[in-house]
Structure 1
Amino acid sequence: MPRHFILILLLLAFLMSACTASQNYKDADLYSGFTRLDPDRQKRVEDAWLIVRDGTIVEMGQGTPPQGDFAERYDMSGLYGLPGLIDGHAHITAGPHKLEVVDGAPRVTIESVDAITEFHAKIAIGFGVTTVRNPGGDPVANAAYDEKVASGEWIGPQALHAGAVIQPPPFTGAAFAYPKSPEEWDREAARQADLGMTYFKLYTSLTEEELGEGVRAAKAHGLIPIAHLDAVSWTKAADLGVEIMEHALPTSPDLIEPDQREAYLKDASYGLSSKPAYVWFEMVDYDGPLFTEMVRALKDHGVALNLTLSVNELIYNTDDLSGVLLEEDAKFTHPESLTAMKQFLAGAAYGWTPEDYERARTVWPRVHEFVQRLETAGIPMMIGTDSNSGGVYMAHEMALHIDAGLDAWTVLDMATGGAADIMGLGDSTGRLAPGYEADIVFLSADPLTDMSAIRKVVHVVTDGMSHDAAAVRESALSSLN
């Protein structure tokens, strides 16, 4: 074949390829020019690009991106892109705490309010939180939230929920339940499962027998048992089958060595106050057999943790919240929820003296050692804020884990891929890779240098939908007016 015919064929092939490439990208978005941070691989990629189609990342690379006609081109030069943040403990559908007295008996309720939920859902997206684990709330409200986000009626993160928290009175209302027989346990677990819940939340006042019954009922109906515990130790809970522990507050007397247990019960006014939140850390023996056995049980049973160090910080500073709940951040919590939270915290610290606060704030190094020992043992952990939306509180919670001695890559992974793995979503979100959901956050500063950069969110992609972060935040705030 003459040489010029070969050249013509090659040229035609090139032109057809170029046309095909252009056609292939007309329904896709291109994000380019950013520094990609991959926490799970601890890898940093300069001048990165990625292509999103139908809510999924389809291509990624470095340098010059593919040529073609894209639906949208986003120049992210100077920004840092990482997987969308995952708040492992966000009560996204919770309304304000309310305490009232009915027929002489106290009642605590946390009823969901649509306007408040929609506000917090927008704030979550506005600060780069694309997935949340909601560890307890009205299951009907939770199911309604999922429907509104899926339909596009609301902007909000994907959520995996626990339904009504299992806790005795005075907690009551749609957000709580207290089964008293095996039949009632099964009926409540079945109800929550039928409404699409993922978790079954077991709470502080349950006995060991009740905890075991809750685990049984949860697993019988395909739910994952999770727990925030006080009386029952983490060791016993792990042996019973609880799969995720909530809060860095494992304050059971059974984890205090026998020669110190009586002093702990007395000094902490155990069962009568919230003082165990700091006294436990003063008296626990990290090298003793009980703590060692607890860590072994957690590891052997594959239990994951969500430590919410912000909760410890709040409890230890309820006498002066100005240094914890910053004034510039307060606007990102719905006013009704913020007021109720402050009232609840004040009540939780009832009976504390100035000496209690001094001791509590002094115990932080012991809390840090607790975190370090769990991380060294290889216990899976995720970042959770115990807020309504994550929002600005994600950056603060992550910074507290840095203060506890964890490195920045580890903390970033705890808020992205590591959290996704714990939640069973590790094959679909939490990472930037072809085939994964396009959940992406773009920051104006490098979180590896300063974790406060997590709050500097410029742009968010959730399930492929692109959002100007400032506009989303402003939309939420304007709804208050």
Structure 2
Amino acid sequence: MRSTRCSLMMLAATGLMAALSTDALRAETWLRCGATLDVEAGALTDARTLVVVDGRIERIERGHPDAPGDEEIVDLARLTCLPGLMDMHTHLTSESSPSRYADRFTDDAADVALQSVEYARETLAAGFTTVRDLGDSYNASIALRDAIERGVVPGPRIYTSGKSLATTGGHADPTNGWRADLMGAPTPRDGVLNGPAEAREAVRQRYKDGADLIKVTITGGVLSVARSGMNPQFRPDEIEAVIETAADYDMHVAAHAHGAEGMKRAIRAGIHSIEHGTYMDDEVIELMIENGTWFVPTISAGKFVAEKAEIDGYYPEVVRPKAATIGPLMQDTFGRAHAAGVRIAFGTDCGVCYHGDNALEFGFMVEAGMSPADALRSATLNAAELLGVEDRAGRLAPGYWADVVAVEGNPLEDVSLLTDIRFVMKGGTVFAHGSAAR
């Protein structure tokens, strides 16, 4: 009898806890917005109330109706609400500094991981609730992604490639510039490959590590300790092996690329996105349009490296002329690609430039001829489509993630307002309310 009573009490307690849990999950948060941005139409609405339940927008009410019960009310009546912004090219585990090249020899994995927590916080405070991270060290971005998902630290939702893939001596070969006894022979496990077999192994290692996607350095780069910033660095069969193997694991492939020949090889092989694209020519543009290839321009990085190249000692001497030459070209390339109709998703390369300054990219895009509405679409609708999450992110709509940011004023008239985010909600949790200082 006693055991029966205990069992009934346990069942009752379990039922009560389940009911309380359900009630908690159904608790409503009402965001009373002065206006909302319809990114698809490129227009502001009048006052709206976003009703958030269990991390998603459940419904949107006109005006600011009275709340019938114990709903949590967030007063944003003086602000314009828009979808959480999305940056498709970041490096959350590092940030530019004059000591960056020496830091690789002094920072342990724990140092990198702890630094990344602050960079993630700055990114979220700047209004970027989702990012792609395209190249890290020690798989720190994978650990950071998981810690954010568990609620251990604040930060954006991360889709990460883990370590970028390179060929020997290529842009993401971590031993470039080292003396011979330190250089060794990096392997696919280290992200360095040669030939189709090693290309497949490198992709499978990234899958084993827990990466969400693959990033390849199809051409030379600006900041690598190597002469060329634009030469092709993957043979066609190598990039084809990467893309085919990634597809087996439902992973898309992003290609760092400055030189035209490398871009052509990548696009013909079926690359998902071209990052930077500095020396994109008319043939590359035609191929991108024909294949529906995404372009992530990263004008911010170009501006930043060109500025820092003027400072003695900021970059190694082999890097400095590349930064001075390639950086200033990127905004013009973006303008030509946009005018031609290439699909564009927002990306900054923050890490190369400073974290938290992501929204400066909007101004650079508008300077190059893109409308503010299209610039905002690139960081919402387009970015969500690039990631394959357009059914749950990129707009304020019922059923979508409750990723909401707010500014004072109309960003369709002045995109610089996006550099002063006043409110950040990610997945239904408020992370910032007030001016978000870096």
Compute the displacement of 1:382 (Å). Answer: 1.4
Higher mean alpha-carbon deviation, 398-407 vs 198-207, is at 198-207
Give the aligned partner of residue 349 of structure 1: 320
Give the aligned partner of residue 53 of structure 1: 53
Give the aligned partner of residue 273 of structure 1: none
Say which of 425, 432, 437 aligns to 1:468.
432
Alignment of 1:312 with 2:339, yes or no, is no
Give the aligned partner of residue 200 of structure 1: 214
Give me the identity figure in percent. Answer: 22
Alignment of 1:301 with 2:291, yes or no, is yes
Residues 344 and 201 of structure 1, relative CA distance in 2, 3 Å threshold: farther
Give the aligned partner of residue 160 of structure 2: 161
- Matched residue SS, 2:400: coil
- Matched residue SS, 1:217: helix
Give the aligned partner of residue 81 of structure 1: 81
Compute the displacement of 1:437 (Å). Answer: 0.4
Compute the displacement of 1:387 (Å). Answer: 0.8
Q: Which amino acid aligns with 1:42?
A: G
Q: Structure 1 regions of 5+ residues with no counterpart?
A: 1-22, 252-290, 322-341
Is 1:444–1:453's contact at 8 Å kept on the other side of the alignment? yes
Q: Larger radius of gyration, structure 1 or 2?
A: 1
Give the aligned partner of residue 14 of structure 2: none
Alignment of 1:381 with 2:381, yes or no, is no
> Whole-Å Cα distance in 2 between the matches of residues 467 and 214 of structure 1?
38
Residues 56 and 457 of structure 1, relative CA distance in 2, 3 Å threshold: same
Q: Structure 2 regions of 5+ residues with no counterpart?
A: 1-22, 176-185, 221-232
Say which of 263, 266, 278 aligns to 1:237.
266
Residues 377 and 182 of structure 1, relative CA distance in 2, 3 Å threshold: same
> Whole-Å Cα distance in 1 between the matches of residues 364 and 108 of structure 2?
27
Say which of 361, 377, 384 aligns to 1:413.
377
Residues 387 and 65 of structure 1, relative CA distance in 2, 3 Å threshold: same
Deviations 1:95-150 (A, max 9, x none): 6775369xxxx999996712211101111111111000111224732321122111
> Whole-Å Cα distance in 2 between the matches of residues 201 and 414 of structure 1?
20
Compute the displacement of 1:195 (Å). Answer: 3.1
Q: Which amino acid aligns with 1:410?
A: D
Compute the displacement of 1:49 (Å). Answer: 1.1
> Whole-Å Cα distance in 2 between the matches of residues 377 and 110 of structure 1?
45
> Whole-Å Cα distance in 1 between the matches of residues 304 and 267 of structure 2?
27
Give the aligned partner of residue 32 of structure 1: 32
> Whole-Å Cα distance in 2 between the matches of residues 382 and 175 of structure 1?
30
- Matched residue SS, 2:370: coil
Say which of 425, 428, 433 aligns to 2:389.
425
> Whole-Å Cα distance in 1 between the matches of residues 356 and 139 of structure 2?
27
> Whole-Å Cα distance in 2 between the matches of residues 218 and 420 of structure 1?
20
- TM-score calculated relative to the size of structure 1: 0.71
> Whole-Å Cα distance in 1 between the matches of residues 392 and 93 of structure 2?
24
Q: Which amino acid aligns with 1:124?
A: T
Is 2:267–2:291's contact at 8 Å kept on the other side of the alignment? yes
Is 1:28–1:71's contact at 8 Å kept on the other side of the alignment? yes
RMSD: 3.3
The correspondence of residues 12-411 of structure 1 with structure 2, limited to 5 A, is 27-65=27-65, 67-94=67-94, 98-99=100-101, 113-138=112-137, 140-167=139-166, 168-169=168-169, 171-172=174-175, 177-203=191-217, 204-205=219-220, 206-209=233-236, 210-230=238-258, 232-250=261-279, 291-320=281-310, 343-344=314-315, 348-350=319-321, 370-388=333-351, 392-411=356-375
Compute the displacement of 1:175 (Å). Answer: 9.9
Is 2:34–2:80's contact at 8 Å kept on the other side of the alignment? yes
> Whole-Å Cα distance in 2 between the matches of residues 24 and 161 of structure 1?
32
Deviations 1:237-266 (A, max 9, x none): 211111100014136xxxxxxxxxxxxxxx
Matched pairs, number: 382
> Whole-Å Cα distance in 2 between the matches of residues 408 and 177 of structure 1?
38
Residues 399 and 346 of structure 1, relative CA distance in 2, 3 Å threshold: farther
